[in-house]
């Protein structure tokens, strides 16, 4: 069964909110002012090199956060482009992550890091695979999209309320 236009528009709206939040978190470091951003320009082309090392140990928490941050990206892409090959969807995730890293470098608002690119792309792949497995388990693209839309709506509303509360507290 083909999903309704209303469901597709809702999904696209949720995706756009998610994407704006990801840009705000990654590029703008959750800052409400451009002046608060740290002027930093660095690039790391060694996977899991110096940028992932804290106190002479690999900081897995940042790697996990990069992966987790892009799982929804993969899910949304798979939902919006259900007939696309996994390789094509992963390429879109990788290109998006690379674009973010390049923007950080060009505008000196963060460190560009191959480790982030790898983690983000892997997270997107996990999201794509999660979507595909969910469709197989539920035996329906429409049912899967409906469940994911409900969960994404709850997560998005919760996040926006949290941001509003943080903004009001400051």
Q: Say if residues 74 and 124 touch (Cβ distance below 8 Å).
A: yes
Contacts of 121 (CB under 8 A, 6+ apart): 70, 90, 93, 94, 97
Q: Is residue 94 part of a domain?
A: yes
Q: Is residue 75 part of a domain?
A: yes
Residue 121 belongs to what domain range?
9-27+44-169
The number of CA neighbours under 13 Å toward the Cβ of 164 is 6
Q: What is the pLDDT along the chain (170 residues), one digit of tens a residue?
A: 456 788 889 999 999 999 998 988 887 776 666 665 566 667 776 777 666 566 667 778 888 999 999 999 999 999 999 999 999 999 999 999 999 999 888 888 777 889 899 999 999 999 999 999 999 999 999 899 999 999 999 998 998 898 888 878 86
What pLDDT was estimated at residue 140?
Answer: 92
Q: Is residue 17 part of a domain?
A: yes
What pLDDT was estimated at residue 129?
Answer: 98
What pLDDT was estimated at residue 73?
Answer: 95
The structural domain count of the chain equals 1
C-alpha distance from residue 108 to each of 24, 41, 76, 112 (Å): 15, 5, 29, 9
Phi first, then psi: what are they for 58, rounded to 5°?
-70, 130
Q: Is residue 83 part of a domain?
A: yes
Q: Is residue 4 part of a domain?
A: no
Q: Is residue 35 part of a domain?
A: no
Q: Is residue 104 part of a domain?
A: yes
Q: What is the pTM of this model?
A: 0.85
What pLDDT was estimated at residue 1?
Answer: 46
Q: Is residue 38 part of a domain?
A: no
Pairing of strands 109-113, 57-58: unpaired
Q: What is the distance between the alpha carbons of residues 146 and 86, in angstroms, rounded to a whole number?
A: 21
């Amino acid at each position: 069964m083909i999903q309704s236009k209303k469901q597709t528009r809702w999904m696209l709206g949720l995706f756009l909110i998610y994407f704006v939040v990801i840009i705000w978190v990654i590029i703008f470091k959750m800052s409400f002012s451009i002046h608060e951003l740290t002027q930093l320009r660095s690039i790391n082309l060694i996977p899991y090199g110096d940028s992932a090392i804290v106190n002479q140990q690999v900081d897995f928490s940042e790697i996990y956060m990069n992966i987790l941050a892009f799982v929804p990206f993969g899910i949304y892409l798979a939902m919006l482009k259900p007939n696309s090959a996994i390789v094509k969807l992963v390429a879109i995730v990788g290109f998006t992550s690379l674009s973010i890293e390049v923007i950080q470098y060009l505008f000196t608002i963060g460190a560009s890091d191959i480790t982030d690119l790898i983690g983000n792309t892997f997270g997107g792949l996990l999201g794509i695979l999660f979507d595909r497995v969910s469709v197989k388990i539920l035996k329906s693209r429409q049912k899967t999209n409906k469940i994911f839309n409900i969960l994404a709506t709850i997560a998005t509303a919760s996040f926006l309320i949290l941001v509003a509360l943080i903004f009001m507290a400051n």
